[in-house]
Amino acid sequence: MTAVPEWMRPPRPEGWYSEDLDQLTEAPRHTELIDGALVFMMSPQRVWHARMVTALVNALTEQAPTGVEVDREITIRLDRWNRPEPDLLATTAPYDPSRTFYTPEETLLVVEVVSPESAHRDRTVKLRKYAEAGIANYWRVEDADGSPVVHTYEIDGPTRSYAPTGIHRNELHTSTPFAVKIDLDGLVPGHKS
């Protein structure tokens, strides 16, 4: 049995806190905190996933109104024990090159592109946690035989849960969190529906 490196041991009995992530220089680049436990992205990333994230970042950046920034792979400090890293997000926070996380209050949209390794977290755990934190919009992008299918959700304020607002194939057209129109089939190079 291989010994666990010392840096992987939680600094307290109740686990890790959100602020601890910034001190974990030995951790893999894509490390999240879910319920006080570290989650490492160790599986190889598929090209489909990487290109989908890049294409969505570009499409949303082009359409974002003034005062809205789009970033990829930056954590959101939901609370003391949760700091997930969505594939991309839209925020009202001004650009700050030294920033390592956003807060729910400044996050308008979270997008998760589902991969085999993250499917359960993206479909259930993160869906619930982002809603409980009050993030207004959540998109989950699934791979349907090479074509993106986007499941969109909007927060129901009183219940702090997401209500589904659509399942988008071929084209995504929505007015929340801002006016967006994306040719989904055009996001995947060489793909024809």
Distance linking the first and last C-alpha atoms of the chain: 49
Consecutive H or E run containing 152: strand 147-156
Does residue 5 have a pLDDT over 70?
yes
Write down the pLDDT at residue 72: 96
Distance, in Å, from the CA atom of 91 to the CA atom of 127, rounded to the nearest integer, reads 18
> 47-187, what's its fold?
tt1808, chain A (3.90.1570)
pLDDT at res. 192: 53
**CA–CA dist 75, 102 (Å, integer):** 6
Q: Considering all CA atoms of the chain, what is the largest pairwise distance in Å, rounded to the nearest integer?
A: 54
pLDDT tops 90 at residue 172: yes
Rounded to whole angstroms, how far apart are CA atoms 156 and 134?
A: 9
Share the mean pLDDT of the chain: 92
Residue type, 67: G
pLDDT attached to residue 30: 85
For range 157-167, the mean pLDDT: 95
pTM of the model: 0.90
Gap between the Cα atoms of 172 and 179, Å rounded? 10
Give the residue range(s) of CATH 3.90.1570.10 domains in the chain.
47-187
pLDDT of residue 3: 80
Question: Predicted confidence band at 74 (pLDDT cuts at 50, 70, 90)?
Answer: very high
Contact of 18 with 83, CB cutoff 8 Å: yes
pLDDT of residue 64: 98
